[in-house]
Structure 1
Amino acid sequence: MGVHKVYSYRQDEVEIPDDPQRIVSFSPSITEILFELGLSDQIVGISAFCVRPPETSSKRKIGSYGFVRRELLDEIRPDLIFTISGYQDKFTAELAKNYPVVCVELPVSLAGIIDLPVKIGVITGRQDNGRKISHSLIKKLPEPRMEIIGSCYLEIDLASPIAFGAFSYITDALRYMGLRSIYGDQNREWISSSLDFVHSADPDMIIYEAKMFSKYTEQDMQETIRNRGWS
C-alpha cells in the first residue's frame, strides 16, 4: 500500500496511507462526512459526541471531544486520526506525538462547511466522492437573505453558556438567514457568554441548545426562560 504526505492545519507534515483502513475521528462533523464518503468499514473509533448518522451507534467510542482512552487507541493502531482546530488544539498536539493526526481547520463560514467534504475526500483518497457531496450541498442552499431582519443570541450548553463570535460558521449561518449575532463583532470562535450582556443586547431571537445527552424537557425550557428573565 502506498503512502502520501498531507499538511495538518497545525502545519505538521503527516504521512498516511493512500487508502487508510483504520480511521479514528474525534470530530462529529468529520465522522459524518466519513460515512457519506463510504468509509464506514474503515472507521475503527470515534468520539462519544459523534452521533450522526445512526450507524455511529455500532462504532467503538474511545474518548470524548478532548479525551481519549490511550489503551484503546494503542489497541486499534489507527493509520489516520482526524481532529479539528480550536477547542481540540492541545488535544491534537498530544496525540500527534505518537499517532498520525490530521487536524482540519474549523470552518468559519457556510462556504467552509461545504468545502470540508472535499478536504476529507482528498486526504482519504475519496476526492471525487467528496466533491459530489459538496456540490449536492450547494444545490440545497436557499438564497441568502441580504438584509438584516433582526438580532439573535445563540447559546449551546457545554457545561457553561457558550456563544459564538466572528470566527464561527454559526455566526455566518445566522447572517445567511438575515440574523445578526449579538456576539458577531467579537473576533473569536467561541465565547463564555455573559447573561448580563445578553440582557443588555436585548436580542429579537434566542436559540438555545441544551447540554448534549441531557433529558431536557419543555418544562425545563420554561424554567430556563423564567430563571434568566427571557420571558
Structure 2
Amino acid sequence: MKLVHDWLGPIELPDSARRIVSLAPNATETLFALGLGERVVGRSAFCYRPAATLGLPVLSSYTRVRWELLRSLEPDLVLVSTGVQRGLLEELRQGGAPVFPVPLPQSPYGILENIVLLGELLGVGERASRLCAELAEQYSRLAGILPPLRVYFEFDLGGPISVGRGSYVGEALRHLGLVNVFADHPQSYFPPDLGAVPSLHPDLVIYEPKPHRARSWERAAALMASRGWNYPLVVNGGDELAHYGPLFFSYLEQLERQIERLGL
C-alpha cells in the first residue's frame, strides 16, 4: 500500500500485513477489536488490553525497543503512536523497520479516524467503518448528559498531568457537559500548578491513577487531603482515558455513571 504520511512523506507498506508488532496500546487494542489479533506477533509492556495480548512477546517499553527480538520476529509492520513515541519512531525508521505512526487524536473523533486508518491499512476497511459507527453512536448518547460542573482532571503519569486545549480528554469532558477548569490552558497536556487549582473553583476532581493499584480510591483521597483539597472525587480504574483505543468510549460511559452517582 502506497500512501503519504504527514511526517514521513511517501511510504510503502504491505497491502495486508500479516506479522504486526504493535508498540502503541491504542493500536494494539484496535487490532484486536477489528478481529486481527492473530496477526499481532509482539507488543510493548504497556499493551495489556485485551487479555489475549498478555501471551505475546514484549519488545519495548513505551520509548525503547529490544532490537534483537524485534528482528527475530520479522515483522512486516511496526505500529507506534506519535506524541511521546516520536523518538522511538525515528529510531525504528533509521533502523529500517517497516514502521507506521498512528496519530495522537485531538478529539474522540480522532480515535474513530485512527480505527478507519488502521482498517484501511490492513485491508479491513468495511469492518473498521462498522466499528466506528457503533462507537460514534455510543459517544453521541453521552452528549450533554451531565450538568456543567467545573472539573479538575488529573492523570498520574509519574506525577500530576492535566489537560488543556487540544486534548481529546478535554474535548470528551466538554462533550459530557462538564467544564474543564484548565480548558483555556494553551497546552494539551501539562504539569498543573496545583496551588492555582483552588482559585479555579472546581466542583469535582477526576483522578486517573496508574493501573493495577490496590485501594486506588483511598490512595487518591489521601493525596487530595495532603493538598488540603476537599472536593468531591471520582477515581477511575487506572490508565483508562490515557490510552485512546476503542475502549475509550466505554470508559467514558463508566466515568459518566460514576459522576451521576455523586448526585451533584
Q: Normalised by the size of structure 1, how large is the TM-score? A: 0.91
The match for 1:89 is 86
Taking the aligned partners of 2:73 and 2:3, their CA distance within structure 1 comes to 22
Secondary structure of the 1:207 match is strand
User: Quick one: structure 1 residues 53 and 146, their matched pair in 2 at CA, closer, same or farther if it must change by over 3 Å?
Assistant: closer
User: Quick one: structure 1 residues 189 and 101, their matched pair in 2 at CA, closer, same or farther if it must change by over 3 Å?
Assistant: farther
Map Cα deviations across residues 90-132 of structure 1 (whole Å, 9 max, x no partner): 2211111121111121111121122221111011111111111
Taking the aligned partners of 2:85 and 2:167, their CA distance within structure 1 comes to 15
Worse-matched range after superposition: 142-151 or 155-164: 142-151
Taking the aligned partners of 1:146 and 1:139, their CA distance within structure 2 comes to 14
Secondary structure of the 1:221 match is helix
Worse-matched range after superposition: 68-77 or 118-127: 68-77
Asked if 1:121 corresponds to 2:114, the answer is: no
The match for 1:181 is 180
Taking the aligned partners of 1:191 and 1:50, their CA distance within structure 2 comes to 24
Q: Number of paired residues?
A: 228
Structure 2 residues not aligned, in runs of 5+: 231-264
Taking the aligned partners of 2:6 and 2:43, their CA distance within structure 1 comes to 20
C-alpha contact (below 8 Å) 1:23/1:45 kept by paired residues: yes
Taking the aligned partners of 2:120 and 2:72, their CA distance within structure 1 comes to 27
Asked if 1:31 corresponds to 2:28, the answer is: yes
CA-atom RMSD, angstroms? 1.8
- Runs (4+) of structure 1 exceeding 4 A deviation are none
Q: CA deviation at 1:32?
A: 0.8
Secondary structure of the 2:62 match is coil
Q: CA deviation at 1:23?
A: 0.7
C-alpha contact (below 8 Å) 1:153/1:206 kept by paired residues: yes
- % identical equivalent positions: 34
| 2:165 maps to amino acid | A
Q: CA deviation at 1:204?
A: 1.2
Structure 1 residues not aligned, in runs of 5+: none
Taking the aligned partners of 2:82 and 2:68, their CA distance within structure 1 comes to 24
Q: Normalised by the size of structure 2, how large is the TM-score? A: 0.80
Q: CA deviation at 1:133?
A: 0.7
Secondary structure of the 1:17 match is coil
Taking the aligned partners of 1:85 and 1:184, their CA distance within structure 2 comes to 23
The match for 2:238 is none
